Amino acid sequence: MTTILGIDIGGTGIKGAPVDVETGSFTADRLRVPTPSGGSPADVARVVGEIVAHFDTVGPIGCTFPAVVQRGVALTAANVDPLWIGTDAEALFESAVHRPITVVNDADAAGVAEIELGAGKGRKGTVLLLTLGTGIGSALFVDGKLVPNTEFGHLDIRGKAAELRASEKVREDKNLSWAKWAKRLNEVISHLEALLCPDLIILGGGVSRKTDKFVPFLNSRAEIVPAQMLNQAGIVGAARLAHRKVEA
């Protein structure tokens, strides 16, 4: 069994757990620490250090981050402190924990978990994962291969970013019925189908537990299924990607 520590950085919480990368199961209980107010690079790095110190693991670490990430550097900051733009997140976290860290886009990590171990396992063609939460994250796969940093939650839908119209947070903040929210989500899915013609759409995020309440209102050429890995997906995908980097 190969165990890699996975960490998932979100807008409200930073979560971590050691992962059996073969099965995707956690080998210890997950630890969640609230994301520091403001989410500055220094404060987030401190919490990452706390999570690493909590677990009895050695070796490489996989870590998600809610932004476009290229070669470990954060290039956007839509829902985090603008100070992150241009920050070498891998170097920052490695200096905090003195271990090698692989940093990847959060939705991409979740997508890797779903495509390799969850709802997309064994599926060919074009598969799209949408994570519905504070924003809308996306991960795109073609015959199982990741197209990184798609960020489809920022597509323009009638003058506003898709995630500002149809995220789970918007549904809660506006107290929308499931049917009214599904109508907004349909707009996003219709745009994405016109662009990508996906064969399968996987819906992730906490709301994926309630797909029976809104999927019947969705209209899509593609098959739509709920994610299977739920809130474990980011941690598991980050751990598997870190392991793959070491193997390479």
Any idea where the domains of the chain sit in the sequence?
Answer: 3-108+232-247, 122-228
pLDDT band with cut points at 50, 70 and 90 for residue 231: confident
Query: For residue 131, which amino acid is it?
Result: T
pLDDT digits (tens, 9 = 90+) for 151-166: 999 999 999 999 999 9
Strand ranges, E, within 10-125: 13-20, 31-34, 61-65, 69-70, 73-74, 101-105
Q: Do domains 3-108+232-247 and 122-228 have the same CATH topology?
A: yes
Q: What is the pLDDT of residue 181?
A: 98
pLDDT in tens, 167-222: 999 999 999 999 999 999 999 999 999 999 999 999 998 898 999 999 999 999 99
Q: Can you name the CATH fold of 122-228?
A: Nucleotidyltransferase; domain 5 (3.30.420)
Contact 239, 166 (CB under 8 A): no
| Residue 163, amino acid | E
**Class in CATH terms, 3-108+232-247:** alpha beta
Q: Which among 202, 185, 237, 230 has a CA at the least distance from the CA of 65?
A: 237
The tens digit of pLDDT for each residue in 73-96 reads: 999 987 789 999 999 999 999 999
Instruction: Note the pTM of the prediction, 2 decimals.
Output: 0.94
Question: What is each CA distance from 164 to 73, 137, 158, 213, in whole angstroms?
Answer: 25, 12, 11, 21
